[in-house]
Chains A and B, each alone.
Chain A
Amino acid sequence: MVHALEIIWELLAPDGRLLDIHPSGEPPQVILRNDTERRLLGYLQESDDFIEYHQASEALQAVILRGLFQVESASRFEFSVHADTVPALVDYLKKEWKDAILVPEIIAQAEALWRRPGAQKEMMISEWDGMTLLRPERK
């Protein structure tokens, strides 16, 4: 990861910028939402326990400490995935988020709530991500 940041430093124009986007590493929330409420069903896990996101943060810190980059600004945002059925969410995770683990208890809870009569429902995954704008240092 540090090597990738060194390569990017070389590829940037003198007044260029690096913008890094990566998940915070906090387990994403699994939510059932209807017109009136968001009900937290539990948390998504990843097979590697989110370690690569923490490693990404550490790599950024390492190049900042070495004086390759300086943080210009940073922010956090909520990234959400919306599915119109429980199976659609399970299928999406299987295909696109391969290291995600949605435990059977959460799926069962979601399906039970889904069967209740009431307003239109959707499944949501809500993840907090970080975005950092960095300026390359040229000494």
Chain B
Amino acid sequence: MPILLDPEATETRTLLGLYPDFNGKCVLEIGCGDGRLTWRYAAEARRVAAIDPDPARLERALANRPVGFDHVEFQHANLEDFAARMQERFDLAILSWSL
């Protein structure tokens, strides 16, 4: 156990307390980093677009993709560039420590 982040999952419990139903939702996560939070909510979502400007962190996210999470798409992008080419509208946008 060199480093553990939020092992008590307080962040996830707070998130699910405020937004309990991800079922069938189309989610945009801005600042997904290495996917630490993404993997905790994405199971029920219909689709997740997860963006981050740091390619090294995205590589870690892709390397850690659990089985059955093919509906999560990671993109190397900042919000402005992503929005410029995006027609889709999202049910939920998560600003993940990135505002």
A-B pairs with beta carbons under 8 Å apart, 10 shown = A4-B80, A13-B89, A20-B94, A21-B94, A80-B5, A80-B6, A80-B8, A82-B1, A82-B4, A84-B3
A to B contact number (C-beta, < 8 Å):
118
User: Would you call A75 and B14 a contact (CB within 8 A)?
Assistant: yes
Neighbour of B94 across the interface among A19, A77, A80, A92, CB < 8 A: A19
Q: Which partner residue on chain B sits nearest A132 by CB separation?
A: B18
- From B12, which residue of chain A is reached at the shortest CB distance? A77
B15 at the interface (CB under 8 A from A): yes
What residues of chain A lie closer than 8 Å to B92, measured between beta carbons? Answer: 16-19
Instruction: Report, as a range, how many residues of chain B touch the other chain.
Output: 20 to 34
Checking A12, A17, A84 against B2 with a beta-carbon cut-off of 8 angstroms, the contacting residue is A84
Chain A contacts of B13 at CB under 8 A?
Answer: 77
B83 touches A7 (CB 8 A): yes
Which residue, B6, B13, B90, B99, has most C-beta atoms of chain A within 10 A? Answer: B99
CB B55 to nearest CB in A, in angstroms, measures: 16
The 3 closest A-B pairs by CB, nearest first: A56-B99, A13-B89, A77-B14
* A28 sits at the interface (CB 8 A): no
A64 proximal to B (CB < 8 A): no
Q: Does B30 contact A (CB under 8 A)?
A: yes
Q: A13-B90, A83-B2 are in contact. Are A131 and B14 (CB under 8 A)?
A: yes
A25 in the interface (beta carbon within 8 A): no
Cβ-defined partner of B10 (8 Å) among A17, A73, A78:
A78
Look across to chain A and name the residue whose beta carbon is closest to the beta carbon of B84: A7
Complex: chain B residue closest to A81, CB-CB: B5
